[in-house]
Amino acid sequence: MIETFLAIGMVIIFTILLSLYRLVLGPGVFNQIAASNVIGTKVIVLLVVIGFIFERPMFIDISLLYAALNFIATLLMARYLERGEICKA
Amino acid sequence: MGFKSKGEKAFSMIVTFCAMFIFWVLLSAWIIYIPQHYDLIEISKGIICALIVTLISHELLVSKRGEKVLLKTLRLIPYLFWELWQIVLATFDVAYRVIHPKMPIDPRIIEFETTLRSDFALTTLANSITLTPGTITILVKPETGKFWVHALAEKPADALLVDKTMQRKVAHVYMEE
Amino acid sequence: MQGVDIIATVFMAGGAFFMITGAAGLLRFPDFYTRLHATGKCDTLGEVLIIVGCMIYQGWSFLTLKLLFLSLFIFIVNPTGTHAIMKAAYVTGLKPWKKGEARR
């Protein structure tokens, strides 16, 4: 069964490399933000799969917290580009 | 964000406390459940942490008390299963458009109005539109219930403009016809 | 491999297929709005399918509950993030691509 997890992990890393093209070269800042959001959500699943490969359940806690942080980061970047400021005084 | 009565404040505090405590248990279950017995000191630490967070930020999660919460939750469950099936259809639709060599897409922006007003109903409808075939919500105006939607082709746009299946289902769930 | 492992493998293979489709859509589609169509739908279902495969492999334990919570979180959060980026782009005046124009 560990071969399956290794294969899935490699597929996820391959898709992350594909999205990296948009993150570096994508025309305009919005393409780059979308690519960074996509890479973040892929990394969540990659952490779960790594936890199953090494048989360490601790990785799932890390992926939960990473999901929350990634969501907040995306929202903040979108909001900053929309209004030019993060929170109104 | 003011509260109208003491009941609403107590309701929002209870909901926030339960959510925070459940999240704490999810993250630290390997501490509190040693086989054969529960560790009471660790559980009380969790309760204290959840109480502090509740006192500081209970206004953020629930701002006012809804009516008939249980009935709405019961009605939400069949809607969620229908939504799951729609998500599978949507993903196959987009996958077909991506893999097809000529890319049969014809994007457009459509606008329509609904009768929904409450926050939960608008959020549910917006997320459902994003997850169903070929449409993504761009903007929502909560005062008039107006939606701007980006559609990938003509057929999914007609499903929202003419058929209005999803609007009727969400209005049935939240009882806001 | 036993029966449970085969079912888990089928789920995870489906998830991997959808994730590859989502990445291909991110590269192939002509403009920003249509690219978000690919990532918002294909990636959500692909990631949830992989997590469901892990849940089936794990069996009934506390980890399964955590993974279920994680998949629900992804189901709520991924469309919301997509919507936030799209609203920012629309408000700042990025014009959507029409059929027949050059890709950008």
Q: In the B/C pair of chains, how many CB contacts fall below 8 A?
A: 90
Average pLDDT score over residue span A45-69: 87
Within this chain, do residues B116 and B158 fall inside the same structural domain, yes or no?
Answer: yes
**Helices of type H across chain C:** 3-28, 32-38, 44-58, 62-91
Within this chain, do residues B93 and B18 fall inside the same structural domain, yes or no?
Answer: no
Q: Is residue A88 part of a domain?
A: no
Classify residue B35 by its DSSP letter. Answer: T
- Nearest residue on chain A to C79, alpha-carbon basis: A71
The values of phi and psi at residue C15, to 5°, are -60, -40
Q: What is the pLDDT of residues B68-108, one digit of tens each?
A: 677 777 878 888 888 888 888 888 888 888 888 777 777 77
Amino acid, single-letter form, for residue C98: K
Note the ipTM here: 0.84
User: CB B130 to CB C24 under 8 A?
Assistant: no
Within this chain, do residues B90 and B17 fall inside the same structural domain, yes or no?
Answer: no
Amino acid, single-letter form, for residue A67: A
Q: Tell me the nearest-neighbour CA distance from A62 into chain B, angstroms.
A: 9
> What is the domain range of residue A27?
2-83
Give the whole-angstrom CA distance, residue A59 versus residue A47: 6
Q: How confident is the model at residue A13 (pLDDT cuts 50, 70, 90)?
A: very high
Q: Is residue A89 part of a domain?
A: no
Instruction: Write out the two tokens for B145.
Output: 């219930």
Q: How confident is the model at residue B36 (pLDDT cuts 50, 70, 90)?
A: low
Within this chain, do residues B74 and B132 fall inside the same structural domain, yes or no?
Answer: yes
Within this chain, do residues B76 and B56 fall inside the same structural domain, yes or no?
Answer: no
Within this chain, do residues B86 and B137 fall inside the same structural domain, yes or no?
Answer: yes
Q: Is residue A62 part of a domain?
A: yes
Q: Which of A2, A4, A70 to mutate to test the interface with C (most CBs of C within 10 A)?
A: A4
Classify residue B145 by its DSSP letter. Answer: T
Whether C42 and C19 have beta carbons less than 8 Å apart is answered as yes
Higher pLDDT residue, B125 or B38?
B125
Which of B27, B45, B61 delimits the end of a domain?
A: B61
Least confident of A46-50, B61-65, B99-103, B113-117: B61-65
What is the pLDDT at residue C1? 66
Q: Is residue B1 part of a domain?
A: no
pLDDT at B112 > cutoff 50: yes
CB atoms within 10 A of CB A54: 11
Which of B26, B43, B61 delimits the end of a domain?
A: B61
Which of B41, B61, B81 delimits the end of a domain?
A: B61
When divided into structural domains, chain A yields a total of: 1
pTM (predicted TM-score) = 0.83
Portion 32-71 of A in contact with B at CB < 8 A: 57, 61, 64
Average pLDDT score over residue span B136-140: 83
User: CB A57 to CB B26 under 8 A?
Assistant: no
Within this chain, do residues B153 and B83 fall inside the same structural domain, yes or no?
Answer: yes
Q: Is residue B136 part of a domain?
A: yes
What is the pLDDT at residue A60? 85
Within this chain, do residues B118 and B164 fall inside the same structural domain, yes or no?
Answer: yes
Q: Is residue B23 part of a domain?
A: yes
Q: Tell me the nearest-neighbour CA distance from A61 into chain B, angstroms.
A: 6
When divided into structural domains, chain B yields a total of: 2
CB atoms within 10 A of CB B14: 13
Give the whole-angstrom CA distance, residue A71 versus residue C51: 18
pLDDT at C104 > cutoff 80: no
Within this chain, do residues B168 and B145 fall inside the same structural domain, yes or no?
Answer: yes
What is the pLDDT at residue B67? 66
> What is the domain range of residue B128?
69-174
Give the whole-angstrom CA distance, residue B13 versus residue B120: 18
Within this chain, do residues B32 and B93 fall inside the same structural domain, yes or no?
Answer: no
Helix (H) or strand (E) segment spanning residue C11:
helix C3-28
Higher pLDDT residue, B151 or A14?
A14
What is the pLDDT at residue B1? 46
Within this chain, do residues B32 and B73 fall inside the same structural domain, yes or no?
Answer: no
> C79 Cβ partners below 8 Å, 6+ apart?
B126, B127, B130, B131, C40, C44
Within this chain, do residues B80 and B52 fall inside the same structural domain, yes or no?
Answer: no
